[in-house]
Amino acid sequence: MKWQPFMSTFVLNKMCEVISSGVRTDKGFKEVHLNTVAKQVFEFCGQEVSATQVYNHLRKWRNRWIQVSKLRDLSGASWDENTCSIVLEVEHYAGHVPDHPRDAEFLNTPIQNYNQMQHIFSFGLATGKHAMGSGEPLGSPMPDFPGTPDVEILDGPDKPVDRKRKRGSLIEEEINVFCSMTEAVKEVATAIRKCKPLDVHLDLYGVVMTQGGFSDEALMAALSHLLDNKAQGVGFVAMTDAHRMLWLRSWLGKHYY
């Protein structure tokens, strides 16, 4: 299936709610959480998804978080807290992107769902030069697992199918994606759960909907995104008019038009 941007945001928001509710996730999300979110996706937009599809989609976003974490430590890069953007000077950007084209979507533009990724994946995951690759476990490195039979969870009523993978069991993948066994991770996860969500800025609606040069439909789409990403909404209100216009052009060009 193709995950639409609004569906991805919905899933990540629901996972943030799971963490904020006090559920322990330092060893990964349990199947009951994945099933619950899969059901909520259907209720939200009518798209049927399985717990496995939700799990695989979270793996994709975890890989994006690793890439973003590395790029934040890129030499010459600065971080714009208001727009959640990794900023490179024009010459530096022009020199970097041709050699690393996959980095372009994360540079000099607001990073989609940055706050949700940080809330879900930041605990136990080193960043920058200490960041692990997408196939490595969260937190402290785990010992190698011997080759074991794997059970592949399939959609539909069919029974699970045993498959052999070289050091590639589903259990190991789940550990690679979500697991962290250190006390430090537990402390950080607890601190995250205690954090209260930011309130929506009272001026957000007026500031967004009075921007000139955009249709009401486009502005409503941007407003919906900012309401779902409260930190970005607060940052948008704090921007200058010129920066608001730049943010809207960038975000709408990527996600709306």
pLDDT tens digit string along 122-169?
764 433 333 333 343 333 333 332 332 333 333 333 444 444 444 444
Q: Give the pLDDT of residue 203.
A: 81
List pLDDT tens digits, range 38-47.
Answer: 999 999 888 8
Q: What are the structure tokens assigned to 4, written together?
A: 């639409």
Report which of residues 196 and 225 the model is more confident about: 225
Nearest C-alpha neighbor of 24 from the set 143, 187, 198, 173? 187
pLDDT band at 27 (very low <50, low <70, confident <90, very high): low
pLDDT band at 257 (very low <50, low <70, confident <90, very high): low
SS3 211: coil
What are the sequence ranges of the domains in the chain? 5-122, 203-256
Please list the alpha-helical segments (H only) found in the chain. 5-20, 31-45, 51-72, 90-96, 114-121, 170-178, 183-194, 204-209, 216-228, 230-238, 241-255
Distances (CA, A) of 36 to 32, 39, 180: 6, 5, 23
Q: Are 131 and 66 in contact (CB under 8 A)?
A: yes
* pLDDT tops 80 at residue 4: yes
